[in-house]
Structure 1
Amino acid sequence: MTTIAARPTTTRLGYVDNLRILLTVLVLAHHSALTYGALPMWYWTEPSESLSGLALVAFVVANQFWFMGFFFLLSGLFVPGSVDRKGPGAFARDRLVRLGVPLIVFWLVARPVLSLPGWPERRDQGESFLRFWFSTGDPGPMWFVEVLLVLSLAYAAFRAVRARSTARLGAVPGTDAATDTATSLVARPLTFRAIAAFVAVLTVVTYLWRLAVPLGTYWPGVGLPTPAYLPQYVLLFVAGVLATRRGWLTSLTVRQGRVALIVALVGVGAALGASALASAPDAGIVVLLAQSLAENVVAIGAAVGLLVLFRERFSGQPAWARFAAQHSFAVYVIHPLVLVGVAMLFAPLVAPAGVKFLILLVLSVPLCWGAAYLLRRIPGVARVL
């Protein structure tokens, strides 16, 4: 078998940035759906049990199967190259700034502002405004940044330990033996069997994890709303790191992408059905295992299918796409403030949940990117956003 030396991803890939834009818009859609759906789990909600409200819940559940795990995979793609260039220590310090500072600022400023509608009730209970400001709420959507920071620091620690180990062995700098083991991996095309094996491993790990952390669990200490999906987040981040080293992004075939996307689309219905069955109090092992399998088939199928689709069809970046990609992280950080502000403005409007969802989303997307642009114009802000 012919192999080629794997090269770390060190430059921006247009189609990956385009995927980030898509996922960021999906985050806005996800939280817009929570605003008006029958699942009131957002800062400002107008829950509806209507048909459109239930449809919005189905949209939220289907999204949850895959889109945040895909975010972690894309985030892992550029981590090895960044550590290669900066070294583990400098990379860790950079991540603490780029991820830690927005996380802290959101918790100190945006979180209490978003919780202000609940202040009158807390005030009537005798709580001081200062205590309310620093104790109410959680990191909200910034849980993703929180988990990504932990994973990034863990990888930096791994690379630092590996570097010390090779130094103790007396490796000569610049040789393969002196570099991280991952850098000497070779590019091997992914096969359908390898993808299926990954789905199987992820399914078993997810099932075992959910015996202790079932769906619906919330970790208030860290503000993690979906800890039941942690195996998917961690393993897809690792897959992103390995994809860079092994050249998987370029080795995926069009046929693999097409099959994966079809499987993912068909699997959404099966995953929704399995989730409904698994929500029953007497759901057995077979049902819970089937739920984990269906969810991960959707997650991996969507990841493989969209990576190939965007690589082949949407790799170009016109000016608007470059602008959107440059500001996508800032949009992620500030979007709760924009969504809640617009939703409160349109609260008096009497309309079906689906209509209000569309109004909120259509207005919030350009407003979020515009606000992100203005925010990043402030000196020093672009350093972290």
Structure 2
Amino acid sequence: MTTIAARPTTTRLGYVDNLRVLLTVLVLAHHAAATYGALPFWYWTEPSDSPSGIALMLLMLVNQFYFMGFFFLLSGLFVPGSVDRKGPGAFARDRLVRLGVPLAAFWLVARPILSLREWPARSAQGDSFLHFWFTVGDVGPLWFVEVLLVMSLAYAALRALRARSAAGSGVVAGLRTAAEVQPRPVSFRAIAGLVALLTVVTFLWRLAVPTGTYWELGGLPSPAYLPQYAILFVVGLLAARRGWLSGLTVRQGRVALVVALVSVGLALGGLALATAPGAGVLAQLGAALAENIFAMSAVIALLVLFRERLAGQPTWARFAAQNSFAVYVIHPLVLVGVAVLQAPLVAPAGVKFLILLALSVPLCWLFAYLLRRIPGVSRVL
């Protein structure tokens, strides 16, 4: 059978930026679904066990299988080149500013504002407002920024040690920039190997950290997925050096799309079995396998689709990409604000979800743009 090779493209960053915009919208959809679905865990919730509420819960579960891991993969793509240009020390300082400042700002300002519903109960218990302000809640969605900062600093430290070792031995390490990388073919066997690695590590990890675990230290809502996040971040680092994303073929993208559509139901069924009382190790292993087959199929299908069909960046797409990180940081405030305003509306969960999403997406980008117009803010957002 003939394999259709990926055509050369000069808009690699364009399609990657477009993917990041899509994933940011999916984050908004995820938390809008958490507002009205049958799996409430958001700052403002109106849970529903109606059919549309169940559908919103399924949307959240499907998102969770792959979308944050995909974020880590795309983030890893930009790290090696940045370290090349700045050096490990300057890169680490830059990450501490660009990731650490938004994280600290969210913790100091947005976190207590989003948790104000808890203040009457805390006040009735004799808590002071100052104590409440600094102790309520966690970093919320900014856990992603927190984990990404740790991973980025770890990579910078590794590069610094490597450079020191090379200098001590008199060897000058020559690293190619992403622009100099020639695409390397990615075989189906390599993809299967990645799925196998993700499955085994995920299975072993979840024997100690089962699905649904919450880590209060660090405010991690999904530590059961940490192996996927770490491995896909490393895949992003390696892909930047080896041209893997450009090496994916159109045929692989089509196969991945079919596999994703077929396996999504298996992944949901596997999750239900693995989290049922008394679930054995075989059920957990099967769930990890089905989940990672779907996750990698969805990632590959979207990568190839955007590279081949959605790589262009008209003005609106560039605007969306430039403001996507700021949107990620501020979106909880916008979503909760809109949800509170439409709370009196009596409508099915699915309808309120659609209204919330339709209003919040443009508002998030508008407020992000205005925020970044403040002098100095664009330095970190």
**TM-score clears 0.5:** yes
Cα deviations by residue, 1:151-185 (Å, 9 ceiling, x for unpaired): 000000010000001111112x4xxxx23699999
Match of 1:5 in 2: none
Contact 2:81/2:177, CA 8 A, preserved across alignment: no
Contact 1:203/1:296, CA 8 A, preserved across alignment: yes
Aligned match for 2:231, one of 212, 235, 243: 235
Match of 1:80 in 2: 80
Contact 1:163/1:180, CA 8 A, preserved across alignment: no
Separation in structure 1 between the aligned mates of residue 47 and residue 167 of structure 2, nearest angstrom: 59
Cα deviations by residue, 1:318-368 (Å, 9 ceiling, x for unpaired): 000000000000000000000000000000111000000000000000000
Match of 1:165 in 2: 165
Structure 2: 5+ residue stretches without partners: 1-10
Separation in structure 2 between the aligned mates of residue 181 and residue 213 of structure 1, nearest angstrom: 38
Match of 2:174 in 1: 179
1:336 equivalenced with 2:340 (yes/no): no
Cα deviations by residue, 1:273-328 (Å, 9 ceiling, x for unpaired): 11111121111111100110111111111111111110000000000000000000
Match of 1:349 in 2: 345
1:246 equivalenced with 2:281 (yes/no): no
Separation in structure 2 between the aligned mates of residue 98 and residue 150 of structure 1, nearest angstrom: 13
Separation in structure 2 between the aligned mates of residue 213 and residue 61 of structure 1, nearest angstrom: 17
Cα deviations by residue, 1:104-129 (Å, 9 ceiling, x for unpaired): 00000000000011101100000000
| Letter aligned with residue 28 of structure 1 | L
Q: SS at the partner of 1:327? A: helix
1:145 equivalenced with 2:145 (yes/no): yes
Contact 2:183/2:246, CA 8 A, preserved across alignment: no
| Letter aligned with residue 86 of structure 1 | K
Separation in structure 2 between the aligned mates of residue 246 and residue 158 of structure 1, nearest angstrom: 19
Match of 2:56 in 1: 56
Contact 1:202/1:231, CA 8 A, preserved across alignment: yes
How many residues get paired? 371
Contact 1:217/1:227, CA 8 A, preserved across alignment: yes
RMSD across aligned C-alpha pairs, in angstroms? Answer: 1.6
Contact 2:181/2:243, CA 8 A, preserved across alignment: no
In the TM superposition, 1:18-57 aligns within 5 A as 18-57=18-57
Match of 2:315 in 1: 319
Contact 2:69/2:228, CA 8 A, preserved across alignment: yes
Q: SS at the partner of 2:149? A: helix
Separation in structure 2 between the aligned mates of residue 230 and residue 364 of structure 1, nearest angstrom: 29
Match of 2:4 in 1: none
Separation in structure 2 between the aligned mates of residue 146 and residue 39 of structure 1, nearest angstrom: 24
After superposing on structure 2, the runs of 4+ consecutive aligned residues of structure 1 that deviate more than 2 Å are 178-188
Contact 1:163/1:179, CA 8 A, preserved across alignment: no
Aligned match for 2:258, one of 262, 276, 291: 262
Q: Does the C-alpha gap of structure 1 residues 355 and 40 become closer, same or farther in structure 2, counting only changes over 3 Å?
A: same
1:383 equivalenced with 2:379 (yes/no): yes
TM-score by length of 2: 0.95
Separation in structure 2 between the aligned mates of residue 249 and residue 229 of structure 1, nearest angstrom: 23
| Letter aligned with residue 166 of structure 1 | A
| Letter aligned with residue 34 of structure 2 | L
Separation in structure 1 between the aligned mates of residue 103 and residue 27 of structure 2, nearest angstrom: 17
Contact 1:103/1:146, CA 8 A, preserved across alignment: yes
Separation in structure 2 between the aligned mates of residue 262 and residue 231 of structure 1, nearest angstrom: 25
Contact 1:159/1:180, CA 8 A, preserved across alignment: no
TM-score by length of 1: 0.94
Match of 2:110 in 1: 110
1:308 equivalenced with 2:310 (yes/no): no
Contact 2:183/2:245, CA 8 A, preserved across alignment: no
| Letter aligned with residue 134 of structure 1 | F
Separation in structure 2 between the aligned mates of residue 59 and residue 65 of structure 1, nearest angstrom: 10
1:119 equivalenced with 2:119 (yes/no): yes
Q: SS at the partner of 1:13? A: helix
Q: Does the C-alpha gap of structure 1 residues 319 and 156 become closer, same or farther in structure 2, counting only changes over 3 Å?
A: same
Contact 2:213/2:221, CA 8 A, preserved across alignment: yes
| Letter aligned with residue 44 of structure 1 | W
Separation in structure 1 between the aligned mates of residue 132 and residue 328 of structure 2, nearest angstrom: 25
Q: Does the C-alpha gap of structure 1 residues 182 and 283 become closer, same or farther in structure 2, counting only changes over 3 Å?
A: farther
Contact 2:123/2:129, CA 8 A, preserved across alignment: yes
Q: Does the C-alpha gap of structure 1 residues 166 and 186 become closer, same or farther in structure 2, counting only changes over 3 Å?
A: farther
Cα deviations by residue, 1:74-127 (Å, 9 ceiling, x for unpaired): 000010000000000000000000000000000000000000111011000000
Contact 1:187/1:245, CA 8 A, preserved across alignment: no
Separation in structure 2 between the aligned mates of residue 308 and residue 50 of structure 1, nearest angstrom: 36
Match of 1:199 in 2: 195
Separation in structure 2 between the aligned mates of residue 181 and residue 367 of structure 1, nearest angstrom: 40
1:224 equivalenced with 2:214 (yes/no): no
| Letter aligned with residue 117 of structure 2 | P
Q: Identity percentage over the alignment?
A: 75
